[in-house]
Amino acid sequence: MQADKGHIVVNDGVRLFFESAGNAGNPLVILNGFCLFQDFKYLAENRPVIALDLRSRGRSDYIADLSKLMRGVEQDADDIELVRRHFGFGTVDLLAHSYAGIIAILYAQKHRSHVGRIVQIGSMQPNQSTRYASHLTNADDILQTFFARFAALQTEGSALSAQEFCKKFWALLRHLYVFNPDDAEKLAHWESCHLESELKLMPYWTQALMPSIQRIEFRSEDLAKIESPVLVVHGTKDRSAPYGGARDWTMLLPNARLLTIHNVAHAPWIEAPDKVLAPIKTFLDGTWPAAAERIESL
């Protein structure tokens, strides 16, 4: 690859930012690289890594025109295909966290022949209408406190600048995303309130991204056609995406295994790096990690 960072112009003129490292091996695309690239850059030792900022996220163009955003995650999946073609890769591996885990599977449904391996970390569940038993979620006091403080922040919002609101919101999220409160500051580098797309994320999330996720219904017969190996990594104390969803994904996808990380929340590699980082490398190098399990029931 000729550049370490730059923009890719997709069909409707939107510029997507990418940052790259490494060269030889199976290419890996990290979705929403602006907050993940530094943590997963170690994977570039064996492969080219493209850290991609999704549409109207991170350092990609901020899009005020909602008509270019309303397809949400479906558009993101289409953008990945344009990125693959841009670099001339035959196949790509994908690493996705949180809601981007849905995007990776959407891409695999549409372009099965162009997907190698997929790593889903703390992914949202397959279907948003599914309700899981209490032991498969973590609706604890921290979650309730977050909702109360976020409601108070929204009330206060009119008196704050956009950047002040963004910073306070991310301060709340840091504590939501970890199980051990002492680990919250390890997520400080995720706060990107200096970027216009992140500063103005909330309308995009509420008006386009989340509705697009809620519209999706993954059918078992469609997921059964995805042959790519999928490593599902999930913390048992995740408040943002229920652990039950990880078990669901592993049962629905025919070639998936679950790496359960106990007593961590939405960012398992931050709280338990020794249990997450090496197994992901093992998987992308072509072998299932020893701790990854087949799942047959919730």
The two tokens of residue 39 are 């943590």
pTM attached to this predicted model: 0.95
**Are 165 and 38 members of one domain?**
no
> Structurally, how many domains does the chain consist of?
2
**One domain for residues 270 and 128:** yes
Domain extent at residue 104: 5-137+208-284
**Main-chain phi, psi angles of 296, to 5 degrees:** -120, -5
Walk across the sheet containing 115-121 and list its strands: 5-9, 15-21, 49-52, 28-31, 92-97, 115-121, 230-235, 256-261
Low-confidence ranges of the chain (pLDDT < 70): 1-3
Same domain for 151 and 130: no
Domain-embedded: residue 185: yes
- Same domain, yes or no, for 28 and 107? yes
Instruction: Look at residue 37 in the predicted model and tell me its pLDDT.
Output: 95
Residues 165 and 48 in one domain: no
> Same structural domain for residues 75 and 150?
no
Q: pLDDT digit string (tens) for 146-180?
A: 999 999 998 887 788 989 999 999 999 999 999 99
**pLDDT given at position 36:** 96
**What is the per-residue pLDDT for 12?**
87
Domain membership of residue 297 (yes or no) is no
Q: Classify residue 41 as exposed, middle or buried by CB count within 10 Å of its CB (0-12, 13-18, 19+).
A: middle
42-79: per-residue pLDDT in tens?
Answer: 999 989 999 999 999 999 999 998 888 999 999 999 99
* 49 and 65 within one domain: yes
* CATH code for the domain of 66: 3.40.50.1820
